[in-house]
């Protein structure tokens, strides 16, 4: 079945449509990937996900976001020359080279949590503040089947958590301070500070 779904996707032009909130595929636990695809089909899927992620634009894309209920995601966050240094520092933003996450899971390292506005390509037009562990350990496989066991901190850790959550049927809104829910325009105009301290005070929610 997965192979058929992927064949249908590969026959479509890129970038592929991104599934939006309300579609059940975003709310079910995705099945583990167990090598159901040929080498060519897997390579085509990964390339298509990369193109779709870049076109959105985004820093991660999970297979359910293109309609595939399987535990596979891609992540990448390039350097951001137009982002103020104080924002990069406050949010722990740093380069995250392109990688494929197969059957990933993460565990928090330490008790420290940090909260920032977060968005999602499947919840188009909105952002909300989400508190997440500052540091995590990621265990997964890559596209070759090789084991991945790495630690991430700051914004890369947030990306890894966000995309892995997708594979369990969890959207960032499930973890968000809903009083912070804001349109992209509101975030840009009102809440572009390095941290959401002002937003918490004025919108009435707590930060960790």
* CA dist., res. 187 & res. 52, Å (int): 24
For the annotated binding site, the residues are: 120, 162, 166
Q: Is 47 a catalytic residue?
A: no
For the annotated binding site for Fe cation, the residues are: 120, 162, 166
Q: Is 46 helix (H, G, I), strand (E, B) or coil?
A: helix
Q: For 112-150, give the DSSP string.
A: -EEEEEEE-TTSTTEEEEEEEESEEEEEEE-TTS-EEEE
Question: Distance of alpha carbon 17 from its chain centroid, rounded?
Answer: 16
Sign of torsion over alpha carbons 69, 75, 80, 85: positive
**Longest CA–CA separation in the chain, Å:** 53
Q: Is 153 helix (H, G, I), strand (E, B) or coil?
A: strand
| Catalytic entry in 36, 39, 163, 177 | 163
Q: How many CB atoms lie within 10 A of CB 207?
A: 17
CB 3 within 8 A of CB 41: yes
List residues with catalytic annotation: 163
């Amino acid at each position: 079945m997965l192979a058929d779904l992927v064949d249908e996707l590969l026959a479509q032009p890129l970038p592929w449509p991104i599934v939006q909130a309300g579609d059940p595929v975003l709310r079910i636990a995705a099945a583990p990937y167990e090598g159901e695809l040929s080498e060519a089909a897997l390579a085509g899927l990964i390339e298509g996900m990369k193109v779709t992620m870049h076109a959105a634009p985004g820093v991660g894309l999970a297979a359910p976001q293109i309609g595939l209920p399987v535990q596979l995601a891609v992540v990448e966050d390039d350097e951001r020359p137009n982002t103020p240094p104080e924002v990069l520092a406050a949010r722990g933003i740093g380069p995250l080279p392109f990688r494929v996450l197969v059957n990933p899971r993460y565990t928090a390292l330490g008790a420290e949590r940090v909260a920032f506005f977060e968005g999602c390509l499947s919840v188009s037009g909105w952002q909300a503040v989400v508190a997440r562990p500052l540091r995590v350990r990621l265990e997964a496989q890559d596209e070759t089947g090789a084991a991945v066991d790495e630690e991430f901190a700051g914004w890369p850790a947030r990306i890894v958590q966000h995309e892995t959550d997708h594979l369990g049927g969890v959207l960032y809104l499930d973890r968000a301070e809903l009083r912070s829910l804001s349109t992209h325009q509101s975030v840009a105009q009102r809440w572009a500070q390095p941290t959401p301290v002002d937003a918490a005070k004025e919108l009435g929610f707590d930060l960790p």
